[in-house]
């Protein structure tokens, strides 16, 4: 068995005291980040990236730390959903639908425990799925040439724009903005400057970390200044935490079904965890029917979206590691981590750097058990953190962003650029334009162009080469469908709004 041998390598790395310590720290920080309203997996990981690099961690260590934060944030997101009715991050929105009513009925502790266990089941099954599926997909990925990669990148943009947003034109425009920014700098092929306006700082291009921290973290401060922190609603008190064994047993099939669906949603490029939790909630709601009482605070309504979004978080790692195409905003941030560490995700990653891949997988397996322990018996510790007022938290986040970017490049120019991205993020959010496609564009722009140009070099300028293989054609069709289909489906699949008090 290949997998067992590989896992042995992985556990060898993951169980070394240093790596294990990083995983525990990551889980702890992640749960806090996920629980705090205003910080989610994407901006939480984003502000930690520059600091991780300045610490000089090696590739495996940095990756283990940041993916533990990612998994932890997916767990932690449910805490503020349930207690405050404010999703700590976007995928946790569906958890508010039944979690908050349950808490208001005096069952906050039960809701937290059930959702914690559901998160564990989802994340564990997804990590196992990742372990089985990723090496297989990596083998398929060997068949990918430049034409296929170009179509694949297109697929990522179109599904991200199609499924994850309300308005196709806005999502596509956001992708164009990102791609356009990626073009700034020296042309990879000819070495000539493009769009730099003679500015020396722009010769290297726009650093994607600056864009990520600006769009995700700095813009958050502006949003809170506008709302004056008014959204920090008075939450529900948590008294005693007991473990409702019977209900956990009753929801076992819900958790397993939701994990499978969530994992598949996560693997699809561009779809991600929000889709995972949405699909699983709707699925369980229709299975339970009218009598199920979804929306009034039932255990299944908490278990389904949590298993779904954690499974999707694991699933989203599959395309990110094997193809270099992220499935969600946070995996886009993790891709940025890999690229900064000089690790090229893709099929060769599995043969060239098995220590990275399997060390990561083994760490995630361990992280899951650590997170279960933190999120069920120790959940009260994290509940305290919710009382940190935004007027303290957000200035802190801003200062961390500044120091992080400053210590990375030491240039004023990058800091000012980061503020500009923050303003852009605020305006985009006001206009309901998604910012994740911008990040994806900046991350993938150069590779997308390189693959197009390489394809044309291979075919000597014949454009039909882009449609010359079955895989490429399949990806093109999927890309067009992924962009167009939601236009028609949107009428049937309406996202439920947040429950009002």
Partner 1 sequence: MKSDRVFGLVAVLVALAYIASALQIQTSFLSDPVGSKTFPILIAAAAIVCGVSMIMKPDQEPDWPELNVLASLAFSVVILVGYAYALKPIGFLVPTAIVASVLSYQISPKPRFAVLAGFGLSLGLFVIFKYALGLSLAAFPKALMG
CB 111 within 8 A of CB 305: no
Stretch that binds partner 1, among 67-75, 353-361, 398-406, 485-493 (CB under 8 A): 398-406
How far, in whole angstroms, is CA 260 from its chain's centroid?
A: 18
Among 339, 385, 423, 471, the residue binding partner 1 under the rule CB under 8 A is 423
Among 51, 128, 480, 485, the residue binding partner 1 under the rule CB under 8 A is 51
Check binding of 416 to partner 1 (CB under 8 A). yes
DSSP 8-state secondary structure symbol assigned to residue 494: P
Tokens 């400053």 sit on residue: 406
What lies within 8 Å, CB to CB, of 63 at 6+ separation is 337, 338, 341, 343, 356, 359, 360
DSSP 8-state secondary structure symbol assigned to residue 228: T
Mask for 110-149, x = binds partner 1 (CB under 8 A): ----------------------------------------
> What tokens appear for 46 in the block?
């984003």
User: HEC string of 2-24?
Assistant: HHHHHHHHHHHHHCCHHHHHHHH
Check binding of 190 to partner 1 (CB under 8 A). yes
Stretch that binds partner 1, among 76-84, 281-289, 293-301, 427-435 (CB under 8 A): 427-435
Check binding of 204 to partner 1 (CB under 8 A). no
Check binding of 430 to partner 1 (CB under 8 A). yes
Comparison of 222 and 294: residue with beta carbon closer to partner 1? 222
Helices (H), 353-435: 354-375, 379-385, 390-409, 412-430
Comparison of 248 and 405: residue with beta carbon closer to partner 1? 405
Candidates 125, 34, 89; CA nearest to 379 is 34
What lies within 8 Å, CB to CB, of 112 at 6+ separation is 78, 79, 82, 83, 238, 241, 375, 376, 379
d(CA 352, CA 59): 13
Among 28, 70, 222, 483, the residue binding partner 1 under the rule CB under 8 A is 222
- Phi and psi for 276 in degrees, rounded to 5? -60, -50
Among 5, 8, 136, 187, the residue binding partner 1 under the rule CB under 8 A is 187
Helices (H), 103-251: 108-141, 146-163, 168-182, 208-213, 219-227, 245-250
Check binding of 467 to partner 1 (CB under 8 A). no
Check binding of 421 to partner 1 (CB under 8 A). no
Among 289, 389, 464, 494, the residue binding partner 1 under the rule CB under 8 A is 389
Strand partners, 185: 194
> What tokens appear for 216 in the block?
């995700």
Candidates 114, 118, 39; CA nearest to 73 is 39
Comparison of 142 and 195: residue with beta carbon closer to partner 1? 195
Stretch that binds partner 1, among 76-84, 134-142, 177-185, 341-349 (CB under 8 A): 177-185
Tokens 């599926």 sit on residue: 133
> What tokens appear for 383 in the block?
């509940």
Among 7, 25, 128, 176, the residue binding partner 1 under the rule CB under 8 A is 176
Check binding of 289 to partner 1 (CB under 8 A). no
Check binding of 400 to partner 1 (CB under 8 A). yes
Cβ 176 to partner 1, closest distance in Å?
4
Candidates 31, 38, 497; CA nearest to 232 is 38
How far, in whole angstroms, is CA 220 from its chain's centroid?
A: 17
Comparison of 212 and 419: residue with beta carbon closer to partner 1? 419
Check binding of 18 to partner 1 (CB under 8 A). no
Cβ 49 to partner 1, closest distance in Å?
14
Rounded to whole angstroms, the maximal C-alpha distance in the chain is 70
Check binding of 396 to partner 1 (CB under 8 A). yes
Among 145, 180, 244, 496, the residue binding partner 1 under the rule CB under 8 A is 180
Check binding of 36 to partner 1 (CB under 8 A). no
Check binding of 453 to partner 1 (CB under 8 A). yes
Check binding of 402 to partner 1 (CB under 8 A). yes
Among 1, 4, 234, 392, the residue binding partner 1 under the rule CB under 8 A is 392
Q: Measured between alpha carbons, how far apart are the two ends of the chain, in Å?
A: 54
Stretch that binds partner 1, among 109-117, 353-361, 392-400, 472-480 (CB under 8 A): 392-400
Stretch that binds partner 1, among 59-67, 74-82, 180-188, 296-304 (CB under 8 A): 180-188
Candidates 119, 103, 115, 109; CA nearest to 297 is 103
> What tokens appear for 467 in the block?
């449609």
Candidates 180, 234, 169; CA nearest to 205 is 180
Stretch that binds partner 1, among 2-10, 47-55, 87-95, 311-319 (CB under 8 A): 47-55
Stretch that binds partner 1, among 220-228, 294-302, 321-329, 490-498 (CB under 8 A): 220-228
Binding site for partner 1 (CB under 8 A): 51, 54-55, 166-167, 169-170, 172-173, 176-177, 179-180, 183, 187, 189-195, 218, 221-222, 224-226, 228-229, 389-392, 394-396, 398-400, 402-403, 406-407, 412, 415-416, 419, 422-423, 426, 430-432, 448-449, 452-453, 456-457, 460-461
């Amino acid at each position: 068995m290949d997998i067992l041998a590989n896992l042995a390598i992985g556990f060898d790395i993951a169980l070394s005291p240093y790596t294990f310590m990083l995983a525990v720290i990551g889980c702890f920080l992640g749960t806090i980040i996920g629980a705090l309203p205003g910080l989610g997996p994407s901006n939480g990981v984003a502000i930690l990236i520059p600091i991780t690099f300045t610490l000089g961690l090696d590739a495996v260590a940095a990756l283990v730390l940041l993916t533990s934060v990612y998994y932890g944030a997916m767990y932690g997101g449910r805490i503020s959903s349930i207690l405050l009715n404010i999703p700590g991050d976007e995928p946790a929105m569906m958890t508010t639908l039944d979690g908050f009513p349950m808490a208001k009925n005096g069952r906050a502790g039960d809701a937290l425990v059930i959702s914690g266990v559901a998160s564990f089941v989802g994340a564990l099954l997804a990590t196992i799925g990742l372990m089985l599926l990723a090496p297989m997909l990596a083998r398929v990925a060997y068949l990918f040439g430049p034409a296929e990669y170009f179509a694949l990148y297109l697929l990522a943009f179109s599904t991200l724009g199609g499924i994850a947003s309300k308005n196709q034109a806005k999502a596509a425009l956001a992708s164009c903005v990102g791609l356009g920014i990626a073009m700034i700098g020296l042309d990879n092929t000819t070495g000539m400057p493009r769009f730099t306006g003679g500015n020396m700082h722009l010769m290297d291009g726009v650093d994607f970390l600056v864009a990520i921290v600006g769009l995700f973290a700095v813009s958050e401060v502006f949003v809170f200044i506008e709302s004056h922190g008014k959204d920090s609603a008075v939450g529900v008190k948590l008294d005693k935490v007991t473990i409702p064994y019977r209900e956990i047993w009753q929801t076992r099939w819900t958790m397993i079904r939701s994990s499978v669906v969530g994992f598949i949603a996560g693997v699809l490029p561009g779809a991600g965890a929000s889709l995972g939790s949405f699909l699983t909630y709707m699925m369980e709601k229709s299975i339970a029917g009218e009598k199920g009482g979804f929306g009034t605070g039932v255990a299944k309504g908490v278990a389904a979206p949590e298993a779904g979004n954690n499974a999707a978080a694991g699933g989203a790692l599959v395309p990110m590691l094997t193809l270099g195409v992220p499935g969600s905003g946070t995996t886009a941030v993790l891709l940025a981590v890999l690229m900064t560490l000089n690790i090229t995700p893709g099929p060769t990653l599995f043969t060239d750097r098995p220590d990275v891949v399997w060390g990561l997988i083994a760490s995630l397996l361990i992280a899951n058990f650590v997170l279960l322990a933190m999120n069920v018996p120790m959940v009260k510790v994290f509940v305290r953190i919710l009382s940190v007022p935004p007027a303290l938290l957000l200035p802190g986040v801003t200062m961390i962003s500044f120091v992080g970017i400053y210590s990375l490049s030491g240039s004023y120019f990058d800091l000012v650029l980061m503020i500009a991205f923050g303003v852009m993020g605020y305006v985009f959010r006001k206009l309901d334009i998604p910012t994740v496609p911008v990040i994806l564009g900046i991350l993938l722009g150069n590779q997308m162009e390189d693959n197009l140009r390489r394809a044309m070099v291979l075919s000597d300028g014949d454009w039909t080469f882009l449609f010359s293989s079955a895989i490429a054609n399949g990806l093109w069709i999927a890309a067009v469908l992924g962009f167009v289909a939601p236009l028609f489906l949107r009428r049937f699949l309406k996202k439920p709004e947040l429950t009002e008090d």
